[in-house]
Chain A
Amino acid sequence: MSDTAGPVLAADGRPLKVSLNRALRREKLRAFLLVSPLLLFVLVTFIAPIADMLFRSVENSIVQETIPRTTDALRAWDPDETELPDEGTFQALYTDMVFAEELKLHTRLGSRLNYEKPGISSLFRKSGRSVGKFDTKDYEKAYTDLDAAWEDPATWDRLSREGFPGPRTASAYVGWRETLIAEGDDPLEEDPWDVLFGALHSDLVAYDASYDDPLLQAAKTASAGLDPISYTQQFEDIDEDWTNPEVWKTIQTYAAKYTPGYFLNSVDRQLTPEGVTTRDDNERIYILLFQRTLIMSMMITFSCILLGYPIAFLLANLPMRSANVLMILVLLPFWTSLLVRTSSWKVLLQQQGVINDVLVWIGIVADDSRLQLINNQTGTIIAMTHILLPFMILPLYSVMKTIPLSYVRAAKSLGATDWTAFWRVYFPNSVPGIGAGSILVFILAIGYYITPELVGGTKGVFISNRIAYHISSSLNWGLAAALGTILLVAVLILYWAYDKIVGIDNVKLGG
């Protein structure tokens, strides 16, 4: 064949590659269609919920959605220049709170911000109860006394189309309308609330304009004569904390739709108004727990290899009949409930437990210095090694089953000692089993939480215990999601490193 020869052609004159691809494409499509139900199932029930949960680690739209006017107003506030935000911000907060309270959203926001600054939860709860009793009632009375048309929702509807005297009224009206619609009420049938009159008054006195509409013009003339109310004062009357700049700074810091706050929290840092700071020594916990989780999981994996390897070897090399009995012994605990197994370890390991009793009886341990085997790291490692052992033995066994005995015999016939034959011939062949078992055990261990919770005491708990706590007790799902994401990424990195060092092709679950 010469160097200039073109691509290999098929019988119909097309390049063979193209022809082959075409034939394969149909095969691929069929294969894809066959797996698509499973793929769809996994996407909908597994990938999508996980993605949704992970997304919560940065998502923070609750602040903007609940108090939009306040967060807008706060954008202009510089805490270095004025101690507190201006009166307009307090009025914006009032407007937001009235609507949020009606829909019972303010307390939810309070719990969210309470994660960042203790005390905000009750501040919001308290304020929600009081925003219905603001002095804006006086405005309502004054305007409706002036002209009964102000009581009619149709007036407000008309003005919304013809133009309100200013943005505050417009924004308050939109909020009012939306709140009523959200509650299933008709905005054309409900009496306007005092918050609207408060906004109207602010707008009328703020702009030096005259109106063609006699209703507005009359209201404008009357407005100047009304005593202005101080929203700042009203909030201060509810709780002095509203005049604490720290509260406002916290709201300002967490006003953004997305926040790195949860991730910073999960590495013992904190997003404060002054920037990212490291947490005090007495509040640092997560990095310690991450380290502990990784180290203990590795120790558990290693003990599983140590204990599992000889058993798997025995299983693979005994005659079928005795191997089957042994196999059942391996599988029996596997079929027993996890809680039962963990609880029985309690009975065995505690200081008045079976193991300590036996040791004292033999005389190895004095009665007054019984061993501390549970409620610490030892307890977690013992119990979890036992629970995860089958995940090590089974892949090891299935790999060992495939190593021909003739290899070892051949090695021996060439003069190798038993040890050399094992170490140089048999062991390298079983490494893929160790790899598979280790990955299984390690990944299961890193996410375990029931066993560490029950036997781990304080030093033997994993990061997953904190994740569970934040999911089910503190309801700080954002932080739980951030911790979970970090854990997931850590596992992926380790998997990648494993692939680089050992090679994932060297992992065998059997065959």
Chain B
Amino acid sequence: MKLTTTLLATGALVLSAGASFADGHMAGDMTLVSWGGAYQKSQQRAYVEPYIAANSGVSAIWDESSAEAVAKLRAMNEAGNVTWDLVDVVAADAIRLCDEGLAMEIDADEVLAAAPDGTSASDDFGDLLVSDCFIPQIVYSTTFGYRTDLVGDTPPTDVCAVFDTATYPGKRSLEKRAINNMEWALICDGVAKDDVYDVLETEEGQAQALAKLDTIKDDVIWWSAGADTPQLLADGEIVMGSTYNGRLFSVIEEQDQPVAMLWDAQIFDLDGWIIPAGLPDDRLARVKDFVKFATDTQRLADQAKYISYGPARASSAPLVGKHADLGIDMAPHMPTDPENAKNTFLYNYEFWADYRDDIEAKFQAWLAQ
């Protein structure tokens, strides 16, 4: 009898404590979703560890599910049990999640910190706020790397070297999807950069891009994981291949392989956070507090110490310093560095949100045939 009473009393106490936490207080645990590997480590060191050090009692749990984040979040939402607090996704996925009502819309100026000079967050991030739900962290690019020892005396300077199997014989690697490859194909087939998406909108344009890709179809190894191209380059399996610029940085600088960057026509893309829709108040409060800290000017600049991706804030760029372990200047390795960004291509989110299913179906059919 006494035991029961004690149990009940404790239960009630716990319940009321829980309830009081719910209004206004912040939850102690955060589940952060990211990509794993070097990128997640850069996040861990640049802002998760400092945040935990400053807020005792808070702990962060990582879930390396960003690649399937959209599908998993949709499944969680249908099951009515969203266990994630903050999810790192590429911009295209953020747009999808926003469209599906799975990500929370935010007001950038309210949720994010202003720059040190007082510039509002929405101005500091500028055009990179591509969706109402998206909180950008980094600018990365998909670009080509080549084996310096396999290209002869004339290293490629032009992206169209990929399609030039006469001058640069050997295999090349491209991602096993339509996005980016269709754009490069059209650019190298003589379409002006500004017209690429207008052309790609038409059936003829899609056929033109596939026809161009068809000229090198037998020379391509198609990759699906970001680590594939670095491995193929290191093994000498390919002459050149596309991948994320950070992966190439680690092959070149950290692993010292005979590989060089071909920055020409690199395609910029963004990666950032979204907050899942429908979080309980205490968890939402914690996440908002963390996001404000993690995306401020200094933190985004700090991240560039660990990985060669450009900070998404304009105000962070001047603060980018040296690599934390290698001690080399990071600025020249950023995709946004003026020297690297002479000829860049901006990925059109709206276009791909509309045409992805259609073009991807054609692309995959072309691949399989």
Contacts and interface: CB of A to CB of B under 8 A. Distances in A.
A417 to B, nearest CB: 49
Interface stretch (B182-190, B313-321, B336-344, B359-367): B359-367
Interface string B187-223: 0000000000000000000010010000000000110
B354 A458 contact: no
A119 B357 CA distance: 10
Contacts of B258: none
Contact of B368 (A122, A289, A474): A289
Interface in A309-345: none
Contact of A121 (B171, B237, B354, B368): B354
A111 interface: yes
Contacts of A352: 235-237
A114 interface: yes
B25 interface: no
The 9 A-B pairs of least Cβ separation, nearest first, read: A107-B99, A104-B101, A285-B365, A118-B358, A472-B71, A458-B367, A472-B68, A122-B354, A118-B355
B45 interface: no
Nearest to A350: B237
A136 interface: no
Contacts of A412: none
B369 interface: yes
A118 B354 contact: yes
Interface of A: 103-105, 107-108, 110-111, 114-115, 118-122, 125, 282-285, 288-289, 292, 346, 350-353, 375, 453-454, 457-459, 461, 466, 469, 471-476
Contact of A375 (B100, B221, B350): B221
B114 interface: no
A367 to B, nearest CB: 12
B71 A475 contact: yes
Interface of B: 67-68, 70-71, 74, 96, 98-101, 171, 176, 207, 210, 221-222, 224, 231-232, 235-237, 350, 353-358, 360-362, 364-369
Contacts of A285: 361, 364-365, 368
A391 B322 CA distance: 53
A108 B369 contact: no
B interface, over-half SS: helix
Given A107-B100, A285-B365, 5 more contacts: A282-B365, A284-B365, A352-B237, A454-B224, A475-B70
B74 to A, nearest CB: 7
12 contacts: A103-B101, A107-B99, A110-B99, A114-B354, A282-B366, A284-B365, A285-B361, A350-B237, A457-B222, A472-B70, A474-B356, A474-B357
Given A114-B354, A118-B357, A282-B207, A466 B364 contact: yes
A474 B207 contact: no
Contact of B100 (A111, A471, A473, A476): A111
B215 to A, nearest CB: 16
A110 B96 CA distance: 11
Contacts of B100: 107-108, 111, 475
Contacts of A353: 235
A123 to B, nearest CB: 8
B182 to A, nearest CB: 14
B158 to A, nearest CB: 26
B357 A476 contact: yes
B369 A288 contact: yes
B368 A115 contact: no
Nearest to A118: B358
Instruction: Pick from B71, B176, B357, B358 the residue with the most CB of A within 10 Å.
Output: B357
B99 A111 contact: yes
B237 A107 contact: no
A122 B353 contact: yes
B350 A122 contact: yes
Q: Identify the interface centre among B70, B100, B237, B365: most chain A CB within 10 Å of its CB.
A: B365
Nearest to B70: A475
A471 B235 contact: no
B92 to A, nearest CB: 10
A282 B98 contact: no
A375 B223 CA distance: 10
Given A285-B365, A472-B68, A114 B357 contact: yes
A458 B368 CA distance: 6
Q: Which of B207, B356, B364 has most chain A Cβ within 10 Å?
A: B364
Contacts of B232: 350
B365 A283 contact: yes
